[in-house]
Chain A
Amino acid sequence: SQTIHQWPATLVQPVGSPLSLECTVEGTSNPNLYWYRQAAGRGLQLLFYSVGIGQISSEVPQNLSASRPQDRQFILSSKKLLLSDSGFYLCAWSVSPDTEAFFGQGTRLTVV
């Protein structure tokens, strides 16, 4: 069966420090991969999505970047975190855009 792993679950980082959040999917090939951010009590904002290795589409210009070095690995990065980068980050995958998405458990990032 397919599973998605996202870590860490919580992270407290100082302003100006780098960030690397990792997401991996098991049990499927060539998944569509997504990174979302959720502010407290709000909806999900699509940050990046990827339909294949090295293919990244950015939705919101900001202090973050994404990479897909392997078929089932999706990484969210920042060189220098800002206070406004705090939030709940969710990774998801789907077989195709027309099918259901499966979410990781999320990473609660607090930038101090």
Chain B
Amino acid sequence: SQQGEEDPQALSIQEGENATMNCSYKTSINNLQWYRQNSGRGLVHLILIRSNEREKHSGRLRVTLDTSKKSSSLLITASRAADTASYFCATKFDSSYKLIFGSGTRLLVRP
């Protein structure tokens, strides 16, 4: 089964609003990553947060990690129509080479 599960599955917001997506995972991790995928394209890495970090920022992106709850959130502030895409979290198990992806959140930003 998937290691990471995103919530919600789909999100529709107005341009300028903030978008929050959540990811839950099952086992201990070394790091958690967020990726973006435009329709029919490959994935693009957004941000990586390590297990000893609690929060990380990159431009309009803010990622938090709560290892006690085994969850992470991705916040996109001041969303733009160009942010419309699917967003995935990915985790690497301890002592594993595997990078496992969640099921994704489909974000629609309405102009």
Contacts and interface: CB of A to CB of B under 8 A. Distances in A.
Contacts of A67: none
Contact of B90 (A57, A101, A106): A101
Interface string B67-111: 000000000000000000000101010001111111110100000
Nearest to B41: A105
B59 interface: no
A25 B96 CA distance: 22
B48 interface: yes
Given A105-B41, A106-B41, A43 B98 contact: no
Interface in B33-49: 33, 35, 40-45, 48
Most buried by A among B30, B90, B102: B90
Given A43-B2, A99-B48, A100-B45, A108 B98 contact: no
A97 B98 contact: yes
Contacts of A94: 99
A105 B98 contact: no
A98 B101 contact: no
B42 A49 contact: no
Contacts of A92: 42-43, 99
Given A59-B98, A92-B43, A108-B40, 12 more contacts: A32-B97, A36-B101, A41-B106, A42-B104, A49-B97, A88-B40, A97-B92, A99-B48, A100-B33, A102-B45, A106-B40, A106-B41
16 contacts: A43-B88, A43-B102, A43-B104, A44-B101, A46-B100, A46-B101, A90-B43, A92-B99, A94-B99, A97-B30, A97-B92, A98-B31, A101-B43, A103-B44, A105-B41, A106-B41
